[in-house]
Structure 1
Amino acid sequence: MERYAWKGIVHDGCLEEYKRRHDEIWPEMLEVLKAAGIKNYTIWNVGNELFGYYECEKGADFAAKVQAESPVVDKWNEYMKDVMTMAMDPVTGAQPKMKQMFLME
């Protein structure tokens, strides 16, 4: 199982709204994530910084492909852009793949 992590920033004053939207995540969004083989998805914050982590049963590339091809994900990203900014790689236009530095199992 491959692990994946991402980072983002919640806009000032929008943390409660960010949390509310995830507390009410759309069922169709959850279905896309499941179809992508994503499990154990958690999002953490400190101040306005976000850190997301999930495990990919079918690999991170497969998870990324399923999400990239989903109109539901496009709709979710549009819905979320007024409350957050994702860190993006200027070369690939995608979230930069974070490098694992330590693992204790």
Structure 2
Amino acid sequence: MERYAWKGLINPGCLEEYKRRHNEIWPEMLKVLKEAGIRNYTIWNVGDELFGYYECEQGADYAAKVQAKSPVVAKWNEYMKDVMTMEMDPVTGAQPKLQQVFFME
């Protein structure tokens, strides 16, 4: 299983709205994430910074491809752009992958 991490920024004053939207995440969005093989998805914040982590059952490239071609993900990204800022990878259409520098099991 491949691990994947990303970062982003919450727009000033939008943390509570960001949390509300994730507490009410669309069932169809969860379905796409599961179809992409994404498990153990967690998002943290410190101030206006976001850090996301998930595990990819079929690899990060597969997860990125499934998300990139999904109209649900495109709709979610549009829905979220007023509360957060994230640079997307122009090749994959997904969040830029952070490089792992340490792992302890």
Q: TM-score higher than 0.5 here?
A: yes
> Residue 31 of structure 2 aligns with which residue?
31
Structure 2 residue 66 is the aligned partner of structure 1 residue 66: yes
Distance apart, 1:17 and its partner CA: 0.1
CA contact (8 A) 1:8 1:86 kept: yes
Amino acid at match of 2:63: A
Gaps of 5+ in 1: none
Residue type at the aligned position of 1:98: L
| Whole-angstrom distance in 1 between the partners of 2:85 and 2:27 | 23
2:49 maps to which residue? 49
State the 1:94 CA deviation. 4.7
**TM-score when normalising by structure 2:** 0.94
5+ long unaligned stretches in structure 2: none
Matched pairs, number: 104
Q: Partners of 1:20 and 1:96 in 2: how far apart?
A: 24
Q: Give the percent of matched residue pairs that are identical in Structure 1 and Structure 2.
A: 81
The corresponding residue for 2:102 is 102
Q: Is the 8 A contact 1:7 1:87 kept in 2?
A: no
One-letter amino acid matched to 2:36: A
Q: Is the 8 A contact 2:68 2:94 kept in 1?
A: no
Q: Is the 8 A contact 2:67 2:94 kept in 1?
A: no
